[in-house]
């Protein structure tokens, strides 16, 4: 076959290939059903639900750090169950258990990350990681303080009732807690007015109230 004939044959084959691809694409587009209003509404509901569920997870961390009992209780349905460490019972009882611990420490910071949420109607399942820092007195009677760090995961079953998502079942996993580090300075020496406080003295509450009052 001469060079010119080869070029002609290749051109025909290329044209046939492009045409076949275009035909297949057109056929596929015709067969595909456009997203209906119900599908779009479902997707929007899932996106909104994800945001609302993540806000519950963040509120739990905030409630721990501010020692805000009401906010802690608002994250769970009244019959919610809780299993974390040695505790296995009602979430409401776990909150009482946690508040006793929080009352003995000087400062805490809980960080939530790696949030994964699956939604099925009015039910949802989520996984998130946590990392916590506690400034606490050393249990030796000297009055010295130490910094303790913890990390793990929360596995939560959520339910939506009357448009509100809350936790109905929580499994807390404690994965790592290195030896506490003796503190170089006491919490009382932290500069006043420059760090976080607890409920209701933390600036979060005053600034939020002012923001809501401007609506």
Classify domain 37-186 at the CATH class level: alpha beta
> Do the strands 123-137 and 107-120 form a parallel or antiparallel pair, or are they unpaired?
antiparallel
In the prediction, which pLDDT does 38 show? 81
Q: How confident is the model at residue 27 (pLDDT cuts 50, 70, 90)?
A: very low
Tokens of 21: 């691809």
Query: 133 has which bridge partners?
Result: 109, 149
Site of tokens 């905030």: 62
Distance CA 59, CA 160 (A): 17
The percent of residues above 90 in pLDDT, for the chain, comes to 78
- Taking CA atoms, 161 is separated from 10, 25, 30, 167, in Å, by 65, 44, 40, 11
pLDDT at 49 exceeding the cut of 60 = yes
Residue pLDDT, tens place only, 50-69: 999 999 999 999 999 999 99
- Taking CA atoms, 145 is separated from 76, 155, 176, 205, in Å, by 33, 32, 21, 28
In the prediction, which pLDDT does 10 show? 33
Q: How confident is the model at residue 140 (pLDDT cuts 50, 70, 90)?
A: confident
Q: How confident is the model at residue 32 (pLDDT cuts 50, 70, 90)?
A: low
**Backbone phi and psi for residue 61, each to the nearest 5 degrees, phi listed first:** -65, -45
In the prediction, which pLDDT does 35 show? 60
The percent of residues above 70 in pLDDT, for the chain, comes to 83
Average pLDDT, the chain: 87
Span 181-209, average pLDDT: 95
Q: How confident is the model at residue 105 (pLDDT cuts 50, 70, 90)?
A: very high
Residue pLDDT, tens place only, 74-96: 999 999 999 999 999 999 999 99
In the prediction, which pLDDT does 56 show? 98
Tokens of 83: 């299993």
Length of the chain counted residue by residue = 215
Report which of residues 215 and 24 the model is more confident about: 215
pLDDT at 158 exceeding the cut of 50 = yes
Query: 111 has which bridge partners?
Result: 131
- Domain locations in the chain as residue ranges: 37-186
């Amino acid at each position: 076959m001469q060079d010119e004939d080869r070029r002609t044959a290749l051109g025909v084959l290329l044209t046939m290939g492009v045409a076949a691809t275009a035909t297949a694409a057109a056929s596929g587009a015709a067969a595909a059903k456009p997203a209906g209003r119900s599908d779009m509404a479902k997707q929007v509901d899932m996106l909104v639900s994800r945001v609302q569920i993540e806000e519950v997870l963040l509120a739990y961390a905030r409630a721990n750090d501010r020692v805000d009992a009401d906010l802690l209780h608002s994250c769970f349905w009244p019959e919610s169950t809780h299993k974390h460490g040695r505790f296995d019972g009602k979430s409401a009882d776990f909150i009482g258990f946690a508040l006793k611990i929080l009352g003995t420490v000087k400062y805490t910071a809980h960080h939530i990350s790696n949030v994964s949420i699956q939604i099925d109607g009015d039910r949802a399942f989520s996984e998130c990681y946590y990392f916590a820092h506690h400034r606490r007195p050393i249990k030796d009677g000297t009055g010295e303080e130490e910094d303790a760090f913890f990390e793990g995961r929360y596995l939560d079953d959520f339910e939506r009732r009357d448009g509100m998502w809350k936790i109905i079942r929580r499994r807390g996993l404690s994965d790592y807690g290195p030896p506490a580090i003796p503190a170089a300075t006491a919490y009382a020496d932290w500069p006043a007015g420059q760090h976080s406080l607890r409920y209701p003295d933390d600036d979060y509450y005053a600034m939020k109230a002012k923001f809501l009052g401007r609506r």
